[in-house]
Amino acid sequence: MDLTGRRALITGGAGHIGYAAAEALTELGARVALLDLNEAACETRAAELNRGRAGSALPVVCNLADEQETRAAVREAIAALGGLDILAHSAAFVGTTRLAGWAVPFEQQSVEAWDAGIRVNLTSAFVLAQEARAALASSRSGSIILVSSIYGHVGSDMSLYEGTQMSRVVAYSASKGGLHQLMRHLATLFAPKIRVNVISPGGIARGQAEPFRSRYEARTPLKRMGTEEDLKGAFAYLASDLSSYVTGHDLLVDGGWTAW
């Protein structure tokens, strides 16, 4: 598997999943633009990748809630990279995002938080794909990878959360479900020049409190939570020619969670 010469734009590039995607692609020879709201973290992550291979990463600061800023960031990345072959969208408001009316009990979740989450998690994916389409179509290997979740497939098992301070955010699940239908629409619309697929991770271990973690692991066929490392192969596969006949596909990386 070789991505030498390929150019990728990764949203949420300073975050856990986005950085795992960047590592996977740069390890295979690609150059990446890391797009993130956090300027300092974005620059730090790019520097880390460049220590591994000089010139492999550049930071692009962007607020995905702002349409014009997002479009400008895509154009900036394409100009800096000299084109675009891969677009990976992993940025999202998640359960730990600190936003009033977001990660709170259902009756306290606000319309304002819902709108903000949908804007970043789903609407920005539409904007990114629209703005990047021409550059991706000019590539002989155009690939869009959208990061969804098992909660874009199934409802939350609320028994896992009993006795914890963790909340299930309805806008998160709705936005991730929306990514699946966006992927299907774009896969048919952008074919044959651009492939469009989704990765749906299961729960990723990030120090979640007991008893959530033990309950989650007991319910998972592979008996553990996932790691960012588990996702790197999925990104590499969907970005490379190994998946040249794969589009409109949802790749579940969930330890069997949705197989029950």
| Residues in the chain, total | 260
Does the bond joining 105 to the residue before it have cis omega, within 30 degrees of 0? no
| CB contact at 8 A, 161 and 168 | yes
Is 172 annotated as catalytic? yes
Which listed residue (151, 172, 216, 237) is catalytic?
172
Nearest Cα residue to 85 out of 140, 38, 122, 128: 140
| CB contact at 8 A, 143 and 195 | yes
| CB contact at 8 A, 193 and 135 | no
Hey, how many other C-beta atoms are within 10 angstroms of the C-beta on 230? 19
The rounded distance, in Å, linking the Cα atoms of 255 and 233 is 14
| CB contact at 8 A, 197 and 187 | yes
Does the bond joining 221 to the residue before it have cis omega, within 30 degrees of 0? no
Residues assigned a catalytic role: 172
